[in-house]
């Protein structure tokens, strides 16, 4: 067979498929194979060049992104106008997920560091799915809820640790 034509008839390994990738994202990990193939029709593939802005702090939030390839820096602007990096994300990581459930302004900026491919799921697409495929949308929303709860619990634990460190450094209160 002519090698040019052999690629047309060869199936992609599952690990290369978009559905497989989506199944590795915690928000979507409870979806079955059929549901992941439906999700493929909802998501949007975006490709960015290095140092391109995905969104800025204060922009209206409209959905989440999963990183298929490349790296993304999440940062905030400090009061003196500098950028403080909060996170460096890579393939398999995701961000912006809280705006799937409720529209809100972005609390940080996201910029690419390399050539980057993102898979976006936007609130409007998820809302449409709630009418056409409510079971799938419900599973996605439950996955989102689980991720947000896990992150809130981790943040609460970190706050407790930080409070413990700051109070340990204080001298004892003579009034107590």
- Alpha helix segments (H runs only) across the chain: 3-9, 18-24, 33-42, 123-132, 134-168
Within a domain: 175: no
Q: Determine what percent of the chain is predicted with pLDDT higher than 70.
A: 85
pLDDT number for residue 176 = 45
Q: In the predicted model, is pLDDT for residue 62 greater than 50? A: yes
Residue 73 to residue 125: CA distance in whole angstroms: 26
Within a domain: 176: no
pTM above 0.75, yes or no: yes
Within a domain: 169: no
Within a domain: 1: no
Mean pLDDT of the chain: 88
For residues 140-166, give the mean pLDDT.
Answer: 89
Which residues touch 93 (CB under 8 Å, ≥6 apart)? 66, 67, 72
Q: In the predicted model, is pLDDT for residue 112 greater than 90? A: yes
Within a domain: 73: yes
Within a domain: 57: yes
Q: In the predicted model, is pLDDT for residue 38 greater than 60? A: yes
Owning domain of residue 101: 7-164
For residues 56-63, give the mean pLDDT.
Answer: 94
Residue 147 to residue 64: CA distance in whole angstroms: 13
Q: In the predicted model, is pLDDT for residue 107 greater than 70? A: yes
Residue 119 to residue 113: CA distance in whole angstroms: 16
Whether residue 72 contacts residue 111, with contact meaning beta carbons closer than 8 Å, is answered with: yes
For residues 45-74, give the mean pLDDT.
Answer: 97
7-21, 41-55, 86-100, 142-156, range with the lowest pLDDT: 7-21
Within a domain: 173: no
pLDDT number for residue 12 = 55
Within a domain: 153: yes
For residues 66-75, give the mean pLDDT.
Answer: 98
pLDDT number for residue 79 = 93
Q: In the predicted model, is pLDDT for residue 34 greater than 90? A: yes
**Residue 156 to residues 20, 89, 94, 135, 153: CA-CA distances in angstroms?**
32, 22, 21, 31, 5
**Residue 171 to residues 96, 151, 175, 176: CA-CA distances in angstroms?**
41, 32, 12, 12
Q: In the predicted model, is pLDDT for residue 171 greater than 70? A: no
* Total domains in the fold of the chain: 1
Query: What's the CATH code of the domain at 62?
Result: 2.60.120.10
Query: For residue 102, how many C-alpha atoms fall within 13 Å in the half-sphere facing its CB?
Result: 3
pLDDT confidence bin for 6, thresholds 50/70/90 = low
Whether residue 126 contacts residue 137, with contact meaning beta carbons closer than 8 Å, is answered with: yes
pLDDT number for residue 102 = 86
């Amino acid at each position: 067979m002519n090698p040019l034509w052999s690629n047309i008839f060869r199936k992609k390994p599952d690990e290369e498929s978009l559905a497989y990738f989506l199944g590795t994202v915690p928000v979507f990990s409870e979806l079955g194979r059929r549901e992941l193939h439906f999700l493929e029709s909802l998501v949007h593939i975006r490709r960015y060049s290095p140092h391109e802005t995905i969104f800025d702090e204060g922009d209206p939030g409209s959905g989440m992104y999963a990183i298929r390839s490349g790296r993304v820096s999440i940062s905030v602007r400090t009061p003196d106008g500098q950028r403080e990096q909060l996170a460096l994300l890579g393939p398999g990581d995701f961000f912006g997920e809280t705006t799937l459930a409720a529209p809100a302004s972005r609390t940080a900026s996201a910029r690419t560091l390399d050539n980057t491919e993102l898979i976006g799921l936007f609130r409007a697409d998820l809302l449409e799915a709630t009418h056409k495929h409510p079971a799938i949308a419900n599973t996605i929303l439950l996955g989102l809820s689980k991720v947000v709860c896990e992150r809130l619990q981790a943040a609460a634990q970190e706050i407790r640790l930080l409070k413990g460190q700051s109070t340990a450094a204080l001298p004892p209160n003579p009034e107590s």
